[in-house]
């Protein structure tokens, strides 16, 4: 029995993707969660993972081809079966005109590396003519991030959010005195590569708080709210030059702060390099954005559809604060929640912010 490995949807507004290159060849064993192909999307090059175990039987789409979401990219057969065809079978649907094949052979070009402009994505003689003279089977470099396309994708998602989601907004100023003191002590004994950032504490507190507010975690699809089975926090990462992407920190409520911090550094680095994985784009059940040091004092974020809530933290700011009846200078942060009125309301949302505040007063338990 074989299953199809398809072009995934990596966001509400993705309609098509371009296969950049294969990470697995026919005959290779593939395991659930492994990257099988790299696909170029508006959010950069994404490693597409597979959700079954088996053996890659046949590749159905050649590198350079743009196909709609849902298109089968490869056939995967069960591990125990004989191959349906030898690797790289002649039936591989690499479409090219006879003239294109002749010209490619004469110029020692790999047809699979040429984008086709003919019917059904077929490579034409003209496409071969226009192709740069690259050596056969040269490893393709991942495409550079297209910031304009990234901005466009974000704008489309935000326009949809503003059109469809009845947002409500709540803010609360939280005392970070204990969290900052705990962080300073924890970091004192750590070299820079193991230091924690306040963002990790904020994400952890948010994820733990969401456990008690399941109506903030999940997706609103086809007119109904579907609670998330796990808490995957989309962490907003700014990309130099103006892009923004929010890859998932999977099960953010479960790991230790060190694990969360390692995950945060990892996704931030890969978001900026344009090498995120498909599950990281598709899985977030709620988003957290933290402006950090250079940011404004508060952010009122917009929900990313189909999610139903987003939390925004402004810059950590020292403010006069009343502690035990006396005014003291304390580090504080403005936390903002944007919620979806179809699923929750200001009363429920207030409880979420209060729970985050409570958790941040016990940083040692995060």
Nearest to 357 by CA among 160, 179, 98: 179
Residue 318's DSSP bridge partners are 331
Classify residue 242 as left (phi > 0), alpha (psi -120 to 50) or beta.
left
> Pairing state of beta strands 167-175 and 326-340?
antiparallel
> Pairing state of beta strands 54-59 and 29-30?
antiparallel
Residue 305's DSSP bridge partners are none
Decide: residue 153, CB within 10 A, 0-12 exposed, 13-18 middle, 19+ buried: buried
Decide: residue 174, CB within 10 A, 0-12 exposed, 13-18 middle, 19+ buried: buried
Rule CB under 8 A: is residue 2 a binding residue for another protein? no
Nearer to another protein, 105 or 148 (CB): 148
Q: How far is the CB of 295 from another protein (least distance, A)?
A: 8
For the window 287-306, what string marks contact with another protein as x by the rule CB under 8 A? -----xxx------------
Q: How far is the CB of 147 from another protein (least distance, A)?
A: 12
Q: Which of 238, 262, 273, 298 binds another protein (CB under 8 A)?
A: 238
Nearer to another protein, 165 or 206 (CB): 206
Nearer to another protein, 79 or 241 (CB): 241
Q: By CB under 8 A, what part of segment 167-196 binds another protein? A: 184, 187-188, 191-193, 195
Rule CB under 8 A: is residue 197 a binding residue for another protein? yes
Rule CB under 8 A: is residue 241 a binding residue for another protein? yes
Nearer to another protein, 177 or 339 (CB): 177
Q: How far is the CB of 315 from another protein (least distance, A)?
A: 10
Query: Residues in contact with another protein, total (CB under 8 A)?
Result: 20
Q: Which of 10, 75, 150, 268 binds another protein (CB under 8 A)?
A: 268
Task: Give alpha helix (H) positions in the chain.
Answer: 98-106, 125-130, 147-164, 177-188, 198-211, 257-273, 278-282, 346-360
- What residues line the site for another protein (CB under 8 A)? 184, 187-188, 191-193, 195, 197-199, 238, 240-241, 264-265, 268-269, 292-294
């Amino acid at each position: 029995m074989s299953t199809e490995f398809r072009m995934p949807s990596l966001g509400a507004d993705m309609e098509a993707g371009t296969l950049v290159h294969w990470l697995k060849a026919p005959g290779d064993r593939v395991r659930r969660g492994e990257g099988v192909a790299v696909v170029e999307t508006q959010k950069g090059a994404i490693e597409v993972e597979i959700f079954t175990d088996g053996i890659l039987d046949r590749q159905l789409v050649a590198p350079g081809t743009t196909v709609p979401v849902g298109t089968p990219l490869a056939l995967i057969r069960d591990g125990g079966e004989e191959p349906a065809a030898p690797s790289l079978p002649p039936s591989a649907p690499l479409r090219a005109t006879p003239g294109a094949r002749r010209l490619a052979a004469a110029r020692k070009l790999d047809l699979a590396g040429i984008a086709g402009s003919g019917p059904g994505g077929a490579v034409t003689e003209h496409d071969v003519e226009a192709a740069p003279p690259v050596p056969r089977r040269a490893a393709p470099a991942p495409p550079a991030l297209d910031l304009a396309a990234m901005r466009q994708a974000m704008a489309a998602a935000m326009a949809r959010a503003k059109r469809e989601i009845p947002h409500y907004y709540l803010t609360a100023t939280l005392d970070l005195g204990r969290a900052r003191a705990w962080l300073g002590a924890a970091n004192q004994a750590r070299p820079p590569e193991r230091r924690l950032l306040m963002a990790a504490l904020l994400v952890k507190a948010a994820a733990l708080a969401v456990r008690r507010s399941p109506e903030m975690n999940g997706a609103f699809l086809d007119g109904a709210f579907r609670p998330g089975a796990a808490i995957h926090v989309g962490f907003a990462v700014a990309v130099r030059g103006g892009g923004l992407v929010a890859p998932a920190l999977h099960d953010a409520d479960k790991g230790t702060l060190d694990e969360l911090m390692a995950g945060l550094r990892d996704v931030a680095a890969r978001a900026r390099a344009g090498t995120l994985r498909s599950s990281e784009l598709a899985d977030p059940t709620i988003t957290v954005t933290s402006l950090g040091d250079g940011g404004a004092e508060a952010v009122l974020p917009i929900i990313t559809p189909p999610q139903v809530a987003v939390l925004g933290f402004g810059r950590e700011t020292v403010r006069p604060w009343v502690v035990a009846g006396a005014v003291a200078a304390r580090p504080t942060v403005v936390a903002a929640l944007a919620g979806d009125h179809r699923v929750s309301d200001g009363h429920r949302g207030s409880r979420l912010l209060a729970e985050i505040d409570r958790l941040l007063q016990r940083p040692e338990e995060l």
